[in-house]
Structure 1
Amino acid sequence: MNSKHIQEAAEAIKGKISSQPKIGLILGSGLGVLAELIENPKVIAYDEIPHFPTSTVVGHAGEMVIGQLSGKEVIMMKGRFHMYEGYDPQIVTFPVRVMKQLGVESLIVTNAAGGIDESFSAGDLMLITDHLNLTFRNPLIGKNDDALGARFPDMSQAYNRDLQQAALQTAKEEGIELQQGVYVGLLGPSYETPAEIRMLRTFGGSAVGMSTVTEVIVANHAGMKVLGISCISNMAAGILDQPLSHEEVMETTEQVKEKFKTLVLKVLPKM
């Protein structure tokens, strides 16, 4: 993907909307419920946008929704792309580039994740304070386009501290217990073994999933502020001695959707 492709995708979206979104949202498995609350929504299927790939995962709708949410102009991805679907990191992160081209300044990334921290429970929400990119892939590999960002972007505040504080304050005001921790991004699509989870806990990981980290790298490269929220959809392998399934992930995100909605809707005006 190059600057021309980014421009063409952005122009196609601009031609269908009249608003100027400043906040982008990427919704993980089962978390697309927020799209139902957007006022004056304009829905654009991914296959209507030049150079966009297709989402193939259950729980990922595969469409952009643009409109107003909590008084803010937003652009929302209902469904993301993953490297385990066979996509290169540059393709997975292409929508983040397009959002930036459209004028988006802040990005909320959400995901369903397995809990590594044994103090967590399925159904918890976790504020992402940092991440470990153990996909061993980086979307910035290759020739750098200086117009898109610096060759060596700083990742010391990959998740913006001011936005973290806004989320913590909002959770306190709304009576929502908000865990905090480090998200570990793996390639997938197989779930982790108990031995791998013990290793990730030793590394300092709090929750584990198969998305987010490459998107956050590109968002930082592009100069966007990032807020990350994980839904702890299950406890990771070996903790409860039970098999893991995508069905369990979807069931848990359905149960947690009300407090997830409340947290995001209330934090948006503070961004």
Structure 2
Amino acid sequence: MTDTDDPARLAAEAAQAVRDRFGVEGADVAFVLGSGWSAAADRLGETVGSVPLETLPGFAAPVVAGHGGELRLVRTTAGRTALVFTGRTHFYEGRGVEPVVHGVRTAAAAGVRTLVLTNGCGGLRTEWGPGTVVLISDHINLTAATPLRGPTFIDLTEAYSRRLRALAREVDPALPEGVYVQFRGPSYETPAEVRMAGAIGGDLVGMSTSLETVAAREAGLEVLGLSLVTNLAAGISPEPLDHAEVIAAGRAAAPRLQTLLAGLAERL
């Protein structure tokens, strides 16, 4: 059996590589910074070191503009050791589910118990304009995929921690909550697909996060999900969708994202 056939072994190897590279016994918390969020890494605490993701077992360099492509080890102001992934593998890259969730499994193998997942997304609510940060209260996985194998029955009643959402509101009481709908991508959703997402209970649409959350819950991690609305979704926005818009929205929202994640790092 190869390591790609044994994701737990590959995650353990990557976690050991992290310990060796940074000279630490493990980590407490992990942040995965999605589209528009990478600049927020600078306020999380003291950076002990960083390595390109692709130098670690099982990882590849991010292919999406707006992702940083490195793993940082940070000492937070709360004295925690944090792993900060400034990029992720997306399901639409065609590499399968295992690479998508490998970062989450590596973090768990390194001892992490709390995971913060972030993304850039399209919004279905007109009152949530570009730059709005939304707490993910639940998700709908429309990828037709799962990181679970065999009869692995994971309770997702509280996939996204109420406790962590309450902590986030200590930092920013104005944060709204919404349901995130993950599509397979890489094409943006059609207006009809966006209407469907709204009809089944969605507030946000994107191409990441839910598969990672399932893997995190399988590993026993407590998850906080944060979405940055970078644009109104197709059919709601009068303008065509463009990834450059995602990058620009993240850049414009950087000060707020930095303040939010810095405040979280003090509490986790």
CA distance in structure 2 between the aligned counterparts of 1:188 and 1:46, rounded to whole angstroms: 23
| Cα distance per residue 1:180-228 (max 9 Å; x no partner) | 1001111101111111111111111011100000000000000000001
- The alignment status of 1:198 with 2:195, answered yes or no, reads yes
- The alignment status of 1:88 with 2:93, answered yes or no, reads no
Q: Which runs of 5+ in 1 are unaligned?
A: 145-150
Aligned to 1:11, which of 1, 16, 19?
16
Aligned to 2:63, which of 39, 52, 56?
56
TM-score computed with the length of structure 1 as normaliser: 0.92
1:25 equivalent in structure 2: 31
Q: Does the 8 Å CA contact 1:187/1:210 hold for their aligned counterparts?
A: yes
Q: Does the 8 Å CA contact 1:70/1:266 hold for their aligned counterparts?
A: no
**CA apart distance, 1:121:** 1.0
1:268 equivalent in structure 2: 265
Q: Which runs of 5+ in 2 are unaligned?
A: none
1:182 equivalent in structure 2: 179
Large movers: runs of 4+ above 6 Å: none
For 1:199, give the aligned amino acid.
Answer: M
**CA apart distance, 1:143:** 4.3
- Greater alpha carbon shift after TM alignment, 67-76 vs 162-171: 67-76
For 2:87, give the aligned amino acid.
Answer: G
1:229 equivalent in structure 2: 226
Q: Does the 8 Å CA contact 2:34/2:88 hold for their aligned counterparts?
A: yes
For 2:71, give the aligned amino acid.
Answer: M
Q: Does the 8 Å CA contact 2:52/2:61 hold for their aligned counterparts?
A: no
**CA apart distance, 1:78:** 0.5
CA distance in structure 2 between the aligned counterparts of 1:54 and 1:18, rounded to whole angstroms: 23
CA distance in structure 1 between the aligned counterparts of 2:150 and 2:61, rounded to whole angstroms: 26
1:121 equivalent in structure 2: 129
| Cα distance per residue 1:52-85 (max 9 Å; x no partner) | 1231111112110012133331001011000111
For 2:145, give the aligned amino acid.
Answer: R
2:160 equivalent in structure 1: 159
For 2:244, give the aligned amino acid.
Answer: E
- The alignment status of 1:248 with 2:252, answered yes or no, reads no
- The alignment status of 1:68 with 2:68, answered yes or no, reads no
For 2:104, give the aligned amino acid.
Answer: V
CA distance in structure 2 between the aligned counterparts of 1:229 and 1:30, rounded to whole angstroms: 12
CA distance in structure 2 between the aligned counterparts of 1:70 and 1:255, rounded to whole angstroms: 25
For 2:266, give the aligned amino acid.
Answer: P
User: Number of residue pairs matched?
Assistant: 260
Q: Does the 8 Å CA contact 2:165/2:224 hold for their aligned counterparts?
A: yes
**CA apart distance, 1:12:** 1.1
Q: Does the 8 Å CA contact 1:117/1:205 hold for their aligned counterparts?
A: no
Q: Does the 8 Å CA contact 2:231/2:237 hold for their aligned counterparts?
A: no
CA distance in structure 1 between the aligned counterparts of 2:41 and 2:126, rounded to whole angstroms: 32
